[in-house]
Amino acid sequence: MFKKMTTQPVPDTTGQLKTLLRSLRRYAESDGCWYSISLGPLALILLLLTILPIIWLGWMALHDINWQDGVSHWEYVGLNNVVLFFDNHFYWPGLLNTFIFSISAVSVQMVLGFLMALVVSRSDRKSRLFLTVVFLLPIVLPPIVIGAIWKLMLSYDFGVINDFLGLLGIAPVDWLGNADIALMSVIAVDIWHWTPFVFLLMLAGLESLPQEVYEASSLDVRNAWQEFWYITLPLMQGTILITLLFRMVLSFKVFDEIYLLTGGGPGTATEVVSFSIYRTFFTEDRAGLGAVMSIFTLLVVAALAVFAQLLLKRRKQS
């Protein structure tokens, strides 16, 4: 009804240009154009930088790759890399360590985080705000900084932890250099690092619980323990399960802190899968073998993730 009108007589070339512009504009406003603009980049990136690399890794796994003067030379070796992979001295202890690492770190984080959230959910607003800010710190700071901090603090000679033990009359401990303790130290750092995250999630979960349920139940439950066991815990089950499963899968990513704190050592005491892949690929320059490791790791983690998803879905249905 209110379309703009072009009333002036126009020379023919301008007319053609206008027609062209109009059809361009019509295309720009069409559904097809919007679909390609809005979904194109996403699809392209996922395809070229996530799917293609997996195929690429498969291709690399069949080759030995050497770099000379910045040019790569590919030599087909069949399944040789797979054989080497099964004999690898770093990967398998690393896989075991990764499992130990993620299971023990995440369990402790869950318990600690949940308990603290329970306590804090009853505090006043001001202290809750303060605690939230403090607990955000380890989450938002670069993991490498976390590594640097703890490298400084856990140092054998002059780390503040050992100084503190010294004050108590305890002999210094080689936290990161002793093969028996190193993994535990790294786990402790991870607990320190990620408990606040669990805490924040649990706090949000607790705060979103329906308050009426508590009001209603206050007539029936006799003490805080009963309230926790019969009301809070069942209501929080979903949040707890989701957080637990996803933290576990995500903790398979651990790399930065290990890189800085121990470099996987001593021996293979703190070796984790990400570090094995890095070592094989970038320091040993055995890209083919690294590719096999990558693919295997992808399969393991994907299986875990899918399993977690199925578990959640099954729970939602029942």
Q: Nearest distance from residue 294's CB to another protein, in Å? A: 4
Can you say whether residue 232 is alpha, beta or left, with left for phi > 0 and alpha for psi between -120 and 50 degrees?
Answer: alpha
**Which CB, 122 or 314, lies closer to another protein?**
122
Helix 233-250 with 91-120: angle, nearest 10 deg: 150
Q: Nearest distance from residue 110's CB to another protein, in Å? A: 13
Separation CA 40–CA 42 (nearest Å): 6
**Which CB, 136 or 311, lies closer to another protein?**
136
Point out which residues pair with 76 in neighbouring strands: 63
The residue type of 155 is S
**Which CB, 13 or 207, lies closer to another protein?**
207
**Which CB, 50 or 318, lies closer to another protein?**
50
Q: Nearest distance from residue 237's CB to another protein, in Å? A: 13
Q: Nearest distance from residue 56's CB to another protein, in Å? A: 5
Separation CA 236–CA 23 (nearest Å): 56
Q: Nearest distance from residue 85's CB to another protein, in Å? A: 14
Separation CA 62–CA 76 (nearest Å): 6
**Which CB, 13 or 76, lies closer to another protein?**
76
Q: Nearest distance from residue 200's CB to another protein, in Å? A: 6
> What phi and psi, each to the nearest 5 degrees, are found at residue 66?
-120, 145
HSE (side-chain half, CA atoms, 13 Å) at 19: 6
**Which CB, 42 or 180, lies closer to another protein?**
42
Sign (positive/negative) of CA torsion 72, 73, 78, 83? negative
Contact 261, 150 (CB under 8 A): yes
Separation CA 158–CA 175 (nearest Å): 12
